């Protein structure tokens, strides 16, 4: 049995609709086999609203959104590391997005064009959230819509951080 520290209440500013999604997010981040005390994932809106959740090194999540030019579906898959967020898989609903983003090749798999392999690491994801983008973060046990945290047409940052205050 693995014991996890108390995470406290979900912030009130998320409202009642955002709270169940946050609890699912917490459960997913803690389910990975390598839990690192003091490691958290912080999702912070430009308005100052934020959610900080305990994270497991090696756990993964995906970001889905609608492409701003083509309206196509995009998924970016990340792994939580000691250095930040490692991009390990990209999925596009249309082949032209592989070319648009400058990838040399991709394979077609179950209706998606997939580009795999280490695509680099970033310390922070800076995401423009608009009503049209339908931006969501997906974990094994649930999904959180970034519109639940951010004001319409604003910036959201996602990063690995220390849980210490």
pLDDT tens, 10-54? 343 444 444 334 333 443 444 443 445 678 889 999 989 998 888
Nearest to 24 by CA among 150, 136, 160, 129: 136
pTM for this one?
0.75
CA distances (Å), origin 83, targets 25, 103, 108, 160? 21, 24, 31, 8
65-82 as b/e: b if 16+ CB within 10 A: bebeeeebbbbbbbbbee
pLDDT tens, 86-107? 999 999 999 999 999 889 889 9
Residue 139: helix, strand or coil by DSSP? strand
pLDDT tens, 102-136? 898 899 999 999 999 888 899 999 999 998 899 99
A 10 A CB-CB count for 27 gives: 14
CA–CA gap between residue 33 and residue 112 (Å, rounded): 29
In this predicted structure, the answer to whether residue 6 has a pLDDT above a threshold of 60 is no
CA–CA gap between residue 48 and residue 151 (Å, rounded): 10
| pLDDT on residue 56 | 87
């Amino acid at each position: 049995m693995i014991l996890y520290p108390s995470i406290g209440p979900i912030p009130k500013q998320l409202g009642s609709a955002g709270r169940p999604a946050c609890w699912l997010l917490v459960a997913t981040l803690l389910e990975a086999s390598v839990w690192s005390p003091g490691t958290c994932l912080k999702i912070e809106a430009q308005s100052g609203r934020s959610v900080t959740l305990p994270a497991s090194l090696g756990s993964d999540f995906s970001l889905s959104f609608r492409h701003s030019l083509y309206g196509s579906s995009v998924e970016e898959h990340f792994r939580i590391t000691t250095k930040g967020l490692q991009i390990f898989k990209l999925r596009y609903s249309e082949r032209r997005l592989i070319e648009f983003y400058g990838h040399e090749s991709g394979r077609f798999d179950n209706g998606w064009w997939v580009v795999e392999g280490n695509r680099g690491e970033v310390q922070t994801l800076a995401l423009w959230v608009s009503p049209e983008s339908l931006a969501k973060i997906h974990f094994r046990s649930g999904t959180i819509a970034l519109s639940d945290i951010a004001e319409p047409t604003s910036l959201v940052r996602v990063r690995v951080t220390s849980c210490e205050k």
